[in-house]
């Protein structure tokens, strides 16, 4: 039913499965963490936390029971690269998880797979069973004496907020997916209160690649603050939507060039919770130090109404807010009402200003990343498309 989404050469297809794992298990856990740190890799799920640092925290956290969680909740609008990775290179993901288990001293890994991806489960279970059969999981995993590690799959149940790592852990524990206060961070107190590493699907796959090719290879690609290649999910008004691999630091213009998105009016980078970049900013770089993203790129052609875009995103957040804290629960509803007023040409400039203040309050006062980032698209659209927003006003009046 689903067609292939891969559009250019992806490094993962050139990484022979198994080699990264073997290379990593030759090292001491500390040396393995050092390789990850030296590569400069930062989390591929969006927030961009340095992976080596995270593993180091979990490794040094006291406790003899620890967990490795692979975040395959992939709910950010416009993202689908994790689905593609799991369909094509699941072995690399499981290798990365196994390496994490070895590095931090965990014996249990959990793949948290979003409910929408239930159709992937059978293949993934098969892959895990094969790995058990080959001795890559289980007692003496990967042939390493004294290292036991296994992975099981936990299905999500349809909740975007469960991609947030502490909400994900709540869900795993059998509760409502309501984000926790941080600190404590999962690396010190995560699943069942134990030290837990949570990483994105793509992060784990890159770790396997880094162990196979070396930290220097990874570090040699990208920018100083954003190392390595990255997978991008590209959709919207482009000729060739799909999954692409580009070095971190590629400009928006460069990306549009490669994907056939010429003539775009704006590009949403980082999904609904990211920023909307207008055409006169297309020279900006996609990197943690400029416009950050977990890989979601949505392109808007000249015919699109930016208010429609803002409305769609806010409908998404209004529904997906867990409702635990007021800035997010009420704030998204208010912003959505505001956008609808704008669409009808019934919003005063003063009220729009107040909405922007509310949006800024949400960014600082919300409990988790959902509420903190949900106003981003609204704010960037109001900032960059003022003329369009108000001409709507005039036209409707």
> Interface residues with another protein (CB under 8 A)?
1-3, 5, 74-80, 82-83, 114-119, 154-160, 171-177, 192, 233-237, 241-243, 268, 272, 298, 300, 304, 308-309, 312-313, 315-316, 319-320, 322
In the complex, the smallest distance separating the C-beta of residue 219 from ligand FMN, rounded to whole angstroms, is 17
Q: Single out the residue of 199, 233, 332, 376 in contact with ligand FMN (rule: CB under 6 A).
A: 199
Q: Which is nearer to another protein, 222 or 274 (CB)?
A: 274
Burial class (CB in 10 A: 0-12, 13-18, 19+), 177: buried
**Does the N-terminal peptide bond of residue 184 adopt cis geometry, omega within 30 degrees of 0?**
yes
Closest by CA to 252, choosing from 236, 233, 238, 266, is: 266
Q: Is 48 in the site for ligand SF4 (CB under 6 A)?
A: no
In the complex, the smallest distance separating the C-beta of residue 331 from ligand SF4, rounded to whole angstroms, is 9
Q: Which is nearer to ligand FMN, 223 or 293 (CB)?
A: 293
Q: How far apart are CA 154 and CA 170, in angstroms?
A: 13
Q: Is 229 in the site for ligand FMN (CB under 6 A)?
A: no
The partner in contact with residue 354, picked from ligand SF4, ligand FMN, another protein, none with C-beta cut-offs of 5 to 8 angstroms by kind, is none
Q: Is 155 in the site for ligand FMN (CB under 6 A)?
A: no
Q: Is 317 in the site for ligand FMN (CB under 6 A)?
A: no
Going 61 to 66 to 72 to 75, the CA torsion angle's sign is: negative
The stretches of the chain forming alpha helices (DSSP H) are 19-26, 29-39, 51-60, 81-88, 90-104, 121-133, 165-172, 201-213, 215-219, 252-259, 306-320, 326-343, 349-365, 369-373, 375-384, 386-396
Three-state SS at 336: helix
Q: What's the distance, Cα to Cα, between the start and end of the chain in Å? A: 47
Quote the tokens at residue 245: 């691999």
In the complex, the smallest distance separating the C-beta of residue 23 from ligand FMN, rounded to whole angstroms, is 20
Q: With contacts defined by CB under 6 A, name the span among 79-87, 245-253, 281-289, 364-372 that binds ligand SF4.
A: 364-372
Binding mask 324-363 for ligand SF4 (x = CB under 6 A): xx--xx----------------------------------
Q: Is 43 in the site for ligand FMN (CB under 6 A)?
A: yes
97-116: contacts with ligand SF4 (CB under 6 A): none
Residue closest to ligand SF4 when measured from CB atoms? 371
Three-state SS at 138: strand
Q: Is 53 in the site for ligand FMN (CB under 6 A)?
A: no
Helices and strands of the chain, counted as H and E runs: 16, 9
The partner in contact with residue 174, picked from another protein, ligand FMN, ligand SF4, none with C-beta cut-offs of 5 to 8 angstroms by kind, is another protein
């Amino acid at each position: 039913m689903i067609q292939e989404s891969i559009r250019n050469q992806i490094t993962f297809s050139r990484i022979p499965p198994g080699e990264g794992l073997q290379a990593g298990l030759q090292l001491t856990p500390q040396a393995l963490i050092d390789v990850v740190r030296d590569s400069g890799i930062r989390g591929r799920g969006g927030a961009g936390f340095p992976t080596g640092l995270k593993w180091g925290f979990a490794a040094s956290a006291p406790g003899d029971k620890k967990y490795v969680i692979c975040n395959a909740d992939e709910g950010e609008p416009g993202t689908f690269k994790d689905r593609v990775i799991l369909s094509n290179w699941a072995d690399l993901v499981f290798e990365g998880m196994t390496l994490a288990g070895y590095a931090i001293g965990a014996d249990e890994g959990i793949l948290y797979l979003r409910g929408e991806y239930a159709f992937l489960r059978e293949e993934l279970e098969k892959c895990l069973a094969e790995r058990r059969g080959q001795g890559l999981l289980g007692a003496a995993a990967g042939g390493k004496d004294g290292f036991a590690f296994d992975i099981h799959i936990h299905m999500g149940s349809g909740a975007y907020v469960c991609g947030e790592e502490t909400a994900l852990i709540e869900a795993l524990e059998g509760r409502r997916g309501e984000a926790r206060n941080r600190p404590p961070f999962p690396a010190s107190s995560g699943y069942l209160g134990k030290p837990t590493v949570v990483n994105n699907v793509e992060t784990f796959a890159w770790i396997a690649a880094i162990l196979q090719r070396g930290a220097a290879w990874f570090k040699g690609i990208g920018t100083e603050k954003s190392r390595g290649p990255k997978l991008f999910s590209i959709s919207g008004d482009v000729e060739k939507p799909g999954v692409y691999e580009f070095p971190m630091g590629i400009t928006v213009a460069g990306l549009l060039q490669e994907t056939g998105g010429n003539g775009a009016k704006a590009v949403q980078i980082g999904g609904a919770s990211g920023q909307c970049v207008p055409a006169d900013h297309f020279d900006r770089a996609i990197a943690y130090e400029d416009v950050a993203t977990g890989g979601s790129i949505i392109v808007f052609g000249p015919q699109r109404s930016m208010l429609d875009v803002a409305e769609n995103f806010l409908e998404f957040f209004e529904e997906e807010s867990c409702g635990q804290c007021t800035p997010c629960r009420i704030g998204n509803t208010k912003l959505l009402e505001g956008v609808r007023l704008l669409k009808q040409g019934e919003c005063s400039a003063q009220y729009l200003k107040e909405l922007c203040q509310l949006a800024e309050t949400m960014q600082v006062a919300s409990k988790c990343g959902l509420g903190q980032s949900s106003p981003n698209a609204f704010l960037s659209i109001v900032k960059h498309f003022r003329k369009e927003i108000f001409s709507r006003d005039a036209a409707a009046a």
